[in-house]
Amino acid sequence: MLARERERLFARSWQYAGHSGQVAEPGSYFTARVGDVPLVVVRDREGELRAFVNVCRHRGAEVVFGEGRCTTLQCHYHAWTYGLDGELRAAPRADGDLDRSELGLRPALVDSWGPFLFVNADSEAAPLAETLGELPELVRDCGIDVDELTFHSRSPYTLAANWKVAVENYLECYHCAVAHPGFSEVIDVAPDAYRLERHSTFASQHVHTREGEGQGQFHMIWPNTKVNIWPGTPNLSIGPLTPAEPARTDGFLDYFFAGEPDAGWLADFMELEDQVGVEDRGLVESVQRGMQSRAFERGRLLLPSEELIADFQRWVVAGLD
C-alpha cells in the first residue's frame, strides 16, 4: 500500500521542499524526496531555478546529497558529471559511441510561492498555481505578505505512526480541548468559533484567540504539506509529512517571520509550538498502536467536527483508484 501511495499520491503532486534562501546563488542546491523519487533543486549559472531527478543515468546512484554549492553535479559512484542545466558533461572512459545528449538528468518541476519552493516529480504536471488555488489569497487576508517573510529555522521530527494518521490528527480540533490545554487557552476551540473550510486541493481551519484580538489559519495542501499561521506577530511555518515506512512518518517545519520578532514573544511561541508537537506525537502514536493491535475494526467520524478527515479519506481513495 505504501508503494502504491508513493507512486500515485506523492510522485504526482506538488509538495513543499525548501525555501529560496537555500538556492540564493548560482551553483547552490538542495535535495528532497517526493514519494520514492529523489530530487535535486539547483540554481544554474544564469540564475534559473531547476529541478532534476537526483539519479545518475549510468547505474542509478543518487548524484548529490544534502545541500551546498557546486559548479557541476558529479555522481559519487563513477564520477559521471552533469552541468547545472542537467546535461551530461563527462563520463570517464566513455568512448565516442556514448550519446551524451540522451543521458542528461531527467527533469522535474520546481515552482515558488513567495520564498516557499515546491517540487513535483511529474514533469508533465499542472502548474503549482492550480494546487494552491485560493490559498495565497486566504493567507493575504490573514495579514501575511509572504514576500516579506524571512526564514528563521527548521524543526525536523519523526512520528511512529502512518502518515495518514498524522494528517488526520492535523485536520481536526475535536481533540484540542482535551489534549492541547495550552493551545486551548490561547485559541477558541469551541465548535462555533473554530471554522473548517473545504477546498478541492487543500483544507483550511480558521481560528481566532479567545480575546478575539487575533486570527490564524491552519491549512493542509493535499497530500501532505502543512501551512500554519498563528495569531500575533506575522508568522508562517510550512512543511511536509513524508511516509518513511508504513508505521513511521518523517517531517519538518520551516519557520518564517516578518522582520525580527520580539525575543520574548518568540520564546513563548516556540515553547507552545513544541508543547503541541509533543502532545500530538503522543496522540498519533497511540492511534497507531491501537490500529496495529487488530482489535480495532473501523472508526466513526463525528461530523461536522471531522468533516475535513472525511474529505481527506475520499481524496486518498480517489487517488489510489
Average pLDDT, the chain: 96
Phi-psi group of 180: left, alpha or beta (phi > 0 → left; psi -120 to 50 → alpha; rest → beta): beta
Q: What average pLDDT does this structure show over 179-196? A: 96
pLDDT band at 277 (very low <50, low <70, confident <90, very high): very high
pLDDT band at 99 (very low <50, low <70, confident <90, very high): confident
Q: What type of residue is 80?
A: W
User: Residues 190, 165, 310, 144: is their CA dihedral positive or negative?
Assistant: positive
Number of compact structural domains in the chain: 2
CATH, residue 199: 3.90.380.10
The last residue of one of the domains, among 86, 113, 130, is 130
Q: Are residues 89 and 227 in the same domain?
A: no
Q: What average pLDDT does this structure show over 248-265? A: 95
Q: CB-side exposure of 13: number of CA atoms within 13 Å?
A: 26
Q: Are residues 191 and 88 in the same domain?
A: no
pLDDT band at 97 (very low <50, low <70, confident <90, very high): confident
Q: Are residues 51 and 90 in the same domain?
A: yes
* pLDDT above 80 (res 96): no
pLDDT at site 35: 87
Q: Are residues 285 and 160 in the same domain?
A: yes
pLDDT at site 148: 96
Quote the CA–CA distance of 257 and 246 in Å, as a whole number.
34
* pLDDT above 90 (res 91): yes
Q: Are residues 120 and 142 in the same domain?
A: no
Quote the CA–CA distance of 96 and 135 in Å, as a whole number.
52
Quote the CA–CA distance of 120 and 124 in Å, as a whole number.
9
Burial class (CB in 10 A: 0-12, 13-18, 19+), 156: exposed
Which domain range does residue 16 map to?
A: 2-130
pLDDT at site 228: 98
What's the pTM value of the predicted model, to 2 decimals?
0.94
pLDDT at site 25: 96
pLDDT more than 90, % of the chain: 93
Quote the CA–CA distance of 129 and 139 in Å, as a whole number.
14
What are the pLDDT digits (tens) for 284-306?
999 999 999 989 888 899 999 99
Q: What average pLDDT does this structure show over 11-20? A: 96
Q: Which residue has the cell 483508484?
A: 321
Q: Are 104 and 87 in contact (CB under 8 A)?
A: yes
The last residue of one of the domains, among 74, 106, 130, is 130
Q: Are residues 268 and 303 in the same domain?
A: yes
